[in-house]
Amino acid sequence: MCYHGYMVHDPHSLYKVDPETSCWVWLRTLSPQGRARLWRKGYSQLAAHYFYIEKHGPVPKGLELDHLCQNKACVNPGHLEAVPHHVNVWRAPGTKLTPEKVVEIRQTYAADPIDQTVFAARYGLKRAHMNLILTGRCWKHAGGPLTRVPKGPRQPFIKMTHLQVREARARYEAGGVTQKGLAEEYGVSPRHMHDILKGKHR
């Protein structure tokens, strides 16, 4: 699905206010991820970032914007909060895990390190995702004892979950992270992450 930014004199003319939720609902075409984009000063940017910066100033380094209203098409700066990535993940609708659950998982596995495929099935997760949790390559801020990663060559094609793929693509689209940085965080090769961001892998 293609989408385009819009260059206008008054960006405030490109949304309407929902009287029930007070969301500023974007009226133009949305990106495949449901986000509004705006063309300003020769380049395209996320509309939510534009309105946030207009009211609050630049997004602090290391933080990203969370839609408190859970409406990605909303550009109301009052509905946006700059938070660390892990907080944004915890708040996402449909997230199976919580910080407390992750600590429980790590403590349980540390006490009885059984086969990770069997262990992952207990929680309705895939082995690759469970490995990322246990080693701290995701949910790194949740706490709990981490499992040591065996020494040896990196496995270039560790599969990422659908949630992780959507999360990585959204973070890359929002800016502030590199393909190499995402690859290291999710435990995949830079080439694999490149293909994921380009839509060649799930």
Residue 23 sits in which domain range? Answer: 11-83
Look at residue 202 in the predicted model and tell me its pLDDT.
53
- CA 60 – CA 84 distance, rounded (Å): 10
Cβ contact 20:48 at 8 Å: no
For the segment 181-186, the average pLDDT, to the nearest whole number, is 78
Boundary (domain end) residue, out of 83, 116, 142: 83
In angstroms, rounded to a whole number, what is the distance separating the alpha carbons of residues 99 and 111? 19
In a domain, 4, yes or no: no
Task: Answer yes or no: is 134 within a domain.
Answer: no
Residue 172 lies in a domain: yes
The domain boundary, picked from 64, 83, 102, lies at 83
User: Is 19 part of any domain?
Assistant: yes
- pTM given for the model: 0.53
Given a contact cutoff of 8 angstroms between Cβ atoms, the answer to whether 179 and 190 are in contact is: yes
Q: Which pLDDT does position 9 carry in this prediction?
A: 64
Over residues 163-177, the mean pLDDT reads 82
Would you say residue 20 has pLDDT above 60? yes
- Is the model's pLDDT at 4 over the cut of 50? no
**pLDDT exceeds 80 at position 154:** no
Helix (H) or strand (E) holding 81, with range, is strand 80-83
- Is pLDDT of 153 > 80? no
Angle at 4 between CA 21 and CA 178, to 5 degrees: 90
pLDDT by residue (tens digit) across 78-103? 999 998 887 777 777 666 788 888 99
pLDDT, tens only, 60-81: 998 999 998 889 999 999 999 9
